[in-house]
């Protein structure tokens, strides 16, 4: 699953009790939170937090999210969230995958993000500047 994905960031996570449904598995919408949390942590790790972006008039917004659910997670289960970053035209494309501790795929996602600067859609050049060294070359 991850042979065609180049990851630049990863973080361990754990399923919390309020994230599971009555069947004892993670609700499908919660995986979107895991992916978003990973993107926010990556941005901060790379040197530009969402708070700082917003204070500079830069707001990354979701354009499209494609998620393939591969294997459910359960209460207390530990997993790892991995992220790669590329561009498609003006969009930033986050290639994000979740894996169980033993490497089984849980979720495979592509998240497209547009950049709004001072209320206008842009090519996100300040973000290219900030995250350029992490962008995968195509």
Q: Which domains does the chain have, with CATH numbers?
A: 9-134 (3.10.129.10)
From 79, 63, 87, select the one nearest 137 (Cα to Cα): 87
pLDDT surpasses 60 at 3: no
Q: Is 21 a catalytic residue?
A: yes
Helix (H, G, I), strand (E, B) or coil at 41: helix
Given the DSSP bridges, would you call strands 78-88 and 58-69 parallel, antiparallel or unpaired?
unpaired
Q: In the predicted model, is pLDDT for residue 17 greater than 50? A: yes
Average pLDDT, integer, range 21-44:
96
Query: Which residue, among 119, 14, 118, 115, has the nearest Cα to 62 in the 3D structure?
Result: 115
For residue 1, the model assigns a pLDDT of 43
**Strand spans (E) along the chain:** 9-14, 58-69, 78-88, 91-100, 105-117, 120-122
Catalytic residue among 4, 21, 59, 97: 21
Average pLDDT, the chain: 94
Average pLDDT over residues 26-31: 96
In this predicted model, what pLDDT tens digit does every residue of 68-113 receive, in sequence order? 999 999 999 999 999 999 999 999 999 999 999 999 999 999 999 9
Backbone angles phi, psi at 81, to 5 degrees: -105, 125
Residue 34: per-residue pLDDT? 98
Question: Look-up: residue for tokens 């941005």?
Answer: 43
Alpha carbon distance 127, 120 (integer Å): 15
**What confidence tens digit (pLDDT) does each residue in 51-61 have?**
999 999 999 99
């Amino acid at each position: 699953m991850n042979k065609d994905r180049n990851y630049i960031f990863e973080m361990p996570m754990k399923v919390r009790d309020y994230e599971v449904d009555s069947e004892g598995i993670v609700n499908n919408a919660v995986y979107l939170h895991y992916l978003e949390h990973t993107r926010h942590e990556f941005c901060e790790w790379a040197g530009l937090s969402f708070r700082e972006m917003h204070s500079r008039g830069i707001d990354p917004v979701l354009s499209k999210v494609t998620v393939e659910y591969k294997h459910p997670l359960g209460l207390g289960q530990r997993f790892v969230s991995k992220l790669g970053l590329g561009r498609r035209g003006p969009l930033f494309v986050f290639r994000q995958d979740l894996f169980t501790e033993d490497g089984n795929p849980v979720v495979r996602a592509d998240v497209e993000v547009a950049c709004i600067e001072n209320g206008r859609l842009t090519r996100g050049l300040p973000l290219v500047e900030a995250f350029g060294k992490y962008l995968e070359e195509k």
